């Protein structure tokens, strides 16, 4: 209840009855990383990786002094908000899957395709 004093010990340090949350992280060694196989056929833009260079930071990961390799002395990087500083963004053609996708829109059939469709039983 608000207004009640907290219990004190002889050291006059207040004790709180709330315990701190703790996280247990388990790590494993000698675990093989699953290699992701490239799709067949792969995307023509990202070559099957699903990632392309960020358009905002030009693949640098930061938005200040993009033209230089290193920042000037005393200047901190301003991380790109689009890629989160990784320099990579999802491919807009395959939407990050890496699989080949046709360009969205109308697909016009050619004359020989129309004739073969008409001749099918």
Q: What angle do CA 25, 30, 96 make, to 5 degrees?
A: 75
Tokens linked to 23: 């996280």
What's the pLDDT score for residue 120?
Answer: 61
How far apart (Å, rounded) are the C-alpha atoms in residues 72 and 65? 9
Instruction: With H, G, I as helix, E, B as strand and everything else as coil, classify residue 44.
Output: coil
- Looking at residue 107, its pLDDT comes to 61
Per-residue confidence in pLDDT tens, the chain, 121 aa: 555 565 555 555 555 565 666 667 777 777 777 777 777 888 889 988 889 999 898 888 988 887 888 888 988 989 999 999 999 999 988 888 888 887 776 666 666 665 566 666 5
**Degrees to nearest 5, angle at CA 26 with 22 and 31:** 165
pTM above 0.75, yes or no: no
Reduced to 3 states (helix: H, G, I; strand: E, B; else coil), residue 116 is helix
């Amino acid at each position: 209840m608000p207004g009640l004093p907290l219990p004190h010990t002889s050291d006059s340090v207040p004790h709180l009855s709330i315990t701190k949350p703790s996280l247990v992280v388990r790590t494993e060694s000698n675990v093989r990383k699953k290699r992701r196989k490239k799709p067949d056929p792969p995307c023509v833009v990202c070559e099957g990786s699903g990632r392309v260079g960020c358009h905002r930071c030009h693949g640098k990961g930061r938005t200040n002094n993009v033209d230089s390799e290193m920042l000037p002395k005393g200047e901190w990087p301003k991380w790109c908000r689009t890629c989160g500083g990784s320099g990579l963004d999802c491919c807009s053609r395959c939407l990050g899957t890496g699989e080949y996708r046709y360009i969205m829109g109308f697909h016009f059939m050619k004359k020989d395709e129309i004739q073969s469709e008409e001749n099918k039983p």
